[in-house]
Amino acid sequence: NKLLHHVPVRRLEAEAIRDSILAVSGSLNPKMFGPSVPPYVSTYQDGRGKPKPGPLDGEGRRSIYIQVRRNFLPAFYLAFDYPLPISSIGARGTSTVPAQALLMMNNEFVSEQAANWAAKVVEAAADPRDRLALMYRRAFARIPTQPEVDQILNFIAEQAQRRADVEVWADVAHVLFNSAEFLYLR
């Protein structure tokens, strides 16, 4: 197991996934230190002591700068095995459950960042192949394979007849965020 090809695949932690989404979409605020940012509290979260909600993207700050409220933990963190702040834990558990995929597909934060990324990619390049190459380099540090290019370009051609260009590319960005290659380290 000393060889790289034997290294076990490992899923990123909640904070690393959130920070990666911000970095890839170009929304990451690199500012260090300073006051923490109040957590985003959705309209569905209710309870005693409900804080004033912070911005959905946490002002683009890294996850370490988001306040932790015991009764109002973000669903994004909870789905990816964020430890409950009511007790200390020596090692964080890791699970792979359907709720994680559902959260990545339906979460407001992920959708917003996919739209931000798509707008930047559409502005940066006119050719769909160039856009796709930019996205793959940013998300995976590689160029897409020919089958990936063909599949995504077919999807774009089909969707472009019904929807705006930026919306279609936001869907592509959303798919890349949801991929195993984005969520797992090899």
* Dist. CA 52–CA 26, nearest whole Å: 26
What pLDDT band is residue 129 in, cutting at 50, 70 and 90?
very high
Please tell me which residue, 4 or 153, carries the higher pLDDT value: 153
Compute the average pLDDT of residues 118-137: 92
Each residue's pLDDT tens digit, 21-44: 999 998 888 889 988 888 887 777
- 33: tokens are 């230190």
- Chain Cα centroid distance, residue 30: 17
Residues 49-73: pLDDT tens digits?
A: 777 777 778 778 888 888 787 777 7
Token pair for 104: 């990545």
Give the separation between CA 52 and CA 24, rounded to whole angstroms.
Answer: 28
Q: What percent of the chain has pLDDT over 70?
A: 95
Left (φ > 0), alpha (ψ -120 to 50) or beta: where does 9 sit?
beta
Rounded Cα distance between 15 and 143, Å, is 26
> Which tokens go with 2?
């000393």
The CA-atom distances, in angstroms, between 20 and each of 48, 114, 161 are: 32, 12, 31
Q: Of residues 140 and 164, which shows the higher confidence score?
A: 140
Q: What is the pTM of this model?
A: 0.83
Tell me what pLDDT residue 175 has.
93
**Quick one: pLDDT band at residue 4, thresholds 50, 70, 90?**
low
Q: Residues 150-169: what's their mean pLDDT?
A: 87
- Residue 10 sits at φ, ψ, to 5 deg, of -135, 130
Q: Is the pLDDT of residue 1 over 60?
A: no
Q: Which of 27, 61, 26 is nearest to 134 (CA)?
A: 26
CA-wise closest residue to 58 among 103, 108, 122: 108
Q: What is the pLDDT of residue 132?
A: 93
Cβ neighbours of residue 141 closer than 8 Å, sequence gap 6 or more: none
pLDDT at 76 > cutoff 70? yes
Mean pLDDT for 2-30 is 83
79-127 residue pLDDT tens: 777 777 777 777 777 777 777 788 889 888 899 999 999 999 999 988 9
* Helical H segments across 72-164, by residue range: 75-79, 98-106, 108-124, 128-140, 146-160
pLDDT of residue 136: 94
Measured distance CA(161)–CA(181) in Å, rounded: 29
